Amino acid sequence: MKRVYIGKIVSFHGVKGEMKILSSFEFVQKAFLVGTHIFIDEKEYTITSYRHHKQYEMITLDGFNTLNQVLLFKGKAVYKEVTELSLLENEVLEEELLTFRVLTNEGKIGMIKEIFETGKQKKTLRILVDDREYLIPYQEPFIKKIDRKKKEIEIEWIAW
């Protein structure tokens, strides 16, 4: 099964084994659902509680009820199986989006070179069309359609 990186355990909260995860994953609500699984160091764990607090995703794991039990997880990367995310037809992981063709409203074809953050929960696509790079905000009205089956993304050019 394919796994995707969803965050890093950076700290803890309280004495009951609650972990703080720093994550910029685009589908955090789906990734940290109670009863689903995460992977740390190739081992599978079940999430027993989840909440969002400030910039952190806060979780507890089945069988880990004290701070001492979870201290070994500090600094560890957290992964999720893609199939367990239950993505909808119009939801695409960023790493998958990098393989999509870009279609413009002018009929040009390009490719996505990079996706990067440009602010709090704002992302930008660096695309290559006709050997030129363009920056397109990854939001409406610039992104018209994402077709997962055809592996295409339709964008709207804004005239300068």
70 falls within a domain: yes
Per-residue pLDDT tens over the stretch 38-56: 999 999 999 999 999 999 9
Counted domains in the chain: 2
How high is the pLDDT of residue 118? Answer: 82
Residue at which a domain ends, from 25, 60, 85: 85
Residue at which a domain ends, from 26, 58, 85: 85
Residue at which a domain ends, from 55, 85, 115: 85
DSSP per-residue codes, 11-50: EEETTTTEEEEE---TTHHHHT-TT-EEEETTEEEEEEEE
Please tell me the pTM assigned to this model: 0.80
Indicate which CATH number applies to the domain containing 137. 2.30.30
For residues 81 and 112, state if they share a domain. no
Mean pLDDT for the stretch of residues 58-69:
97
40 falls within a domain: yes
Per-residue pLDDT tens over the stretch 104-140: 988 889 999 998 888 766 889 999 999 999 999 988 8
160 falls within a domain: no
For residues 58 and 103, state if they share a domain. no
How high is the pLDDT of residue 26? Answer: 87
Structural domain boundaries, residue 104: 94-155
